[in-house]
Amino acid sequence: MRGRGLAIVTVSVAAGLALGALLSPPPADAVAKEIIQLQQQVSILMQNQQTMQNEMTQSFAVLKTLVGQVVDSQNQLAGTVGSMQKTIQNTQANSGSQINTMASQVQALSDSLEDVKARIGKLSGQLATAQNSLQTIDAKVSALGGGQTQPGASSTGPGPGDQQQSGAPNDAPPSQGQTGGAGAPASPSASAPPADLLYTNGLRDFTAGNYDLANQEFQQYLQFYGKTDLASNAHFYLGEIAYVQGRYPAAIGEYNQVLNNYPNSFKRADARLKKAYALLKVHENGPAVAELRRVIRDNPGTEQARKAEARLKELGVRAR
């Protein structure tokens, strides 16, 4: 447009000069020469205008192509970002599930260590009892041997009362996992597997991820040894198995077994925390928040309390 205007102005000037030359009486040769020069200038201007117009057309075409490429790149970037967001969400979901499984397995290993420590303590106590029994037997045997050398002593050996006393220390100590009273097995049949074997196998299979087999072993343990010290642990791990398998109502039932029937169980804090997690899974947010707050109140400063506070923060709920 600018070049066209310049050409028009130039043509107008040339026309004015030509008109002036016609009106004035200069020589004919000079006028013709000037007219030819003006025509040449006008032609040059017209060529420049055409060149500028072609360049502008080419520039617009290039710009249009660049704009199209930018739009295409933006659309591709938006699609890539969407795919990455979906991938991140899926990764986070899978990571959360794997972390929960690993946490359960680590907890099982920790419990196994505690159980081993407890059993070592029981074995130490049984060993001390056996040593005391042997010392008592040795002392009575020595006393009986000394009594036979005394005048008037009977040579027929100890009497019925002595026999009863010397036989008392030989009573076998209670087997492991059977503590008598509240901890005695619930009348296991003669074919019942040993309590230690059932519980240890259950823990081993749970840690290895063999949840169906571990579920059978813990159920069998409770069938024969439902009143032992480790019965609450068996209920807890049954709840953990149900939680991992997505059977959240069943998990809540097992956690409630620990909370309602075993007031002295050291798994109570874990059971209440995992019960809250299971309640969240079935969208019972109100009861879940109440359970999380109780974990914090009943177990201040513990790992379970810190986990409960973190979950409440994720829910946007105050801890108290």
Per residue in 11-47, pLDDT tens? Answer: 676 666 666 655 665 567 777 888 888 888 888 888 8
pTM reported for the whole predicted model: 0.48
Kindly report, residue by residue over 282-294, the tens digit of the pLDDT: 999 999 999 999 9
**3-state SS assignment for residue 47:** helix
Kindly state the average pLDDT of the residues 159-188: 37
What type of residue is 243? Y
Identify the CATH number of the domain defined by range 191-320: 1.25.40.10
User: How far is the C-alpha of 313 from the C-alpha of 293, rounded, in Å?
Assistant: 12
C-alpha to C-alpha distance for 188 and 223, rounded to whole angstroms: 8
Q: How far apart are the two ends of the chain, measured CA to CA in Å?
A: 75
Determine what percent of the chain falls in helix, strand and coil, rounding each to the nearest 5: 80, 0, 20
By CB atoms closer than 10 A (0-12, 13-18, 19+), residue 106 is: exposed
pLDDT in tens, 45-81: 888 888 888 888 888 788 888 888 888 888 888 888 8
Half-sphere exposure of 201 (CA within 13 A, CB side): 16
